[in-house]
Each structure stands twice: as structure tokens, then as C-alpha cells.
Homo-oligomer: A and B are copies of this chain.
Amino acid sequence: MISQTEENYLKALFALTSTKGEASVNELSKMLDIKMPTVNGMMKRLSEKDFVIYESYKPLKLTEKGRKEASLIIRKHRLTEMYLVEKMGFGWEEVHDIAEQIEHIQSPAFFAKMDEILGFPEVDPHGSPIPDENGKVIVKDFDRLSDCESGDVVKFMAVKPSSEELLKFLNSRELVLGAVITIQSVELFDKSMSVNYAHREMEVLSNMVCEKLLVEHVAK
């Protein structure tokens, strides 16, 4: 009924619309690396199938049906990533591309089994929440580490969707989810931070990195 291609469009549109509630054909086109006329046509098709609200020259929106469909694909993606890391021994930087394919497998039993084996996890290996069977997601709004101040003590909760390189960088610094980070100082000119966590002291993190790390305040 719904093709792999259509699923990828829905997922991308879901990501783009999750902040403002709407997105442009142009943004979708760039995100998917597919030319605008193709995207435009697909949006018409998906609106025909009642997944998308499409009106000429207006921003794109997902219908409730579209949001649910997208959430369920994301659920499969994140369950898969968690399974690959927890049960198969992959690193968190290796799993995205595999999950990008496995998320399209049609087998409720397969994902139900994963979920069960994992003990019904709430987040994926990057700290992103796993939508439930009905497509509902509990969105926690964490702070970016880059918005914290000297002296803050925070817990590293999630990485913003980003490159494999960032994840490898974090590996090299032994900076893992759950780490409690104390901000020692913030440079004025480049906003880089010196932080302590675990057994590491005065690690320097660039602002580019800090913007990708989502944290929760722990104590004063």
C-alpha cells in the first residue's frame, strides 16, 4: 500500500515539520537530495492518499494519518538502532544506515520481538525517544550544552541527529550518554567549553560540538 520511497518522504517531512508544523518543497528537496519537481509530484500523490496537506504555493503539512505513519516508521528505525547496539554489538555510529533500510521491513512480529527482547526501551542509542505502537512520542525538551554556563552541572541525555563523525569524536573522548558534565569555563571568543566528566578533566569541546549535545540540569 505504501512504498519504501513514500515512507522515506513521510519520514523526512515529519522531521522538517516537527518544529514549525510546516515545511517547504524546497527544504524537503534538499533534505532528500531529490529535485523539486519530483518532490512536488510526490506531495500531490501523498495528499491524494491523505498523508499530506498539499495546496499550491502553500507550505506542506502532514495530516494526522501522515504523522502517525511517519512515527511508526521512526519507531521501527529507533528500535532497530537500539537492537543493533544492545544485542548485536554495533557502535552507535554504525547503526543509522542499517536502520534506514530495516525500518521498511513489513513484519509487526519482527519489531514486536525486538521491542520485547530489548525490554521496551524508551530511547534509541542516541537518546532520541522511540514512539509507541500508536505513534505517540514523548518529546522531552532538553537544553543544548552550548546554552549552558560556566559552573553548570548537567547530564548528557541525547545527541542531535548529526554526522557519524561527531559520534566517532564523542567515542574518542569517552563521552557517553548519561555522563554527568561539569562546565569549568566557557571561552568568550569561540564559545568553546572546558568540561569535566567521568575521569576526564578539562576536556575542550568546540561550540559546534556543544550545539549537538542535549543535556538536562542536574544540580546547581
Contact = CB atoms under 8 A, between A and B. Distances in A.
A62 to B, nearest CB: 26
A101 B105 contact: yes
Interface stretch (A69-77, A87-95, A136-144): A87-95
A97 interface: yes
A101 B90 CA distance: 21
Interface residues of A, number: 18
A57 interface: no
Nearest to A97: B107
B105 A88 contact: no
Interface stretch (A14-22, A109-117, A183-191): A109-117
A120 to B, nearest CB: 15
Interface string A169-191: 00000000000000000000000
Contacts of A113: 88-90
A5 interface: no
Contacts of A105: 98, 101-102
A163 to B, nearest CB: 18
A56 interface: no
Contacts of A107: 97-98, 101
Interface string A18-58: 00000000000000000000000000000000000000000
A106 interface: yes
A104 to B, nearest CB: 8
Contacts of A87: 87
A110 to B, nearest CB: 5
20 contacts: A84-B110, A87-B87, A88-B113, A88-B114, A88-B117, A89-B113, A89-B117, A90-B109, A90-B113, A94-B109, A97-B107, A98-B105, A98-B107, A98-B109, A98-B110, A101-B105, A101-B106, A101-B107, A102-B102, A102-B105
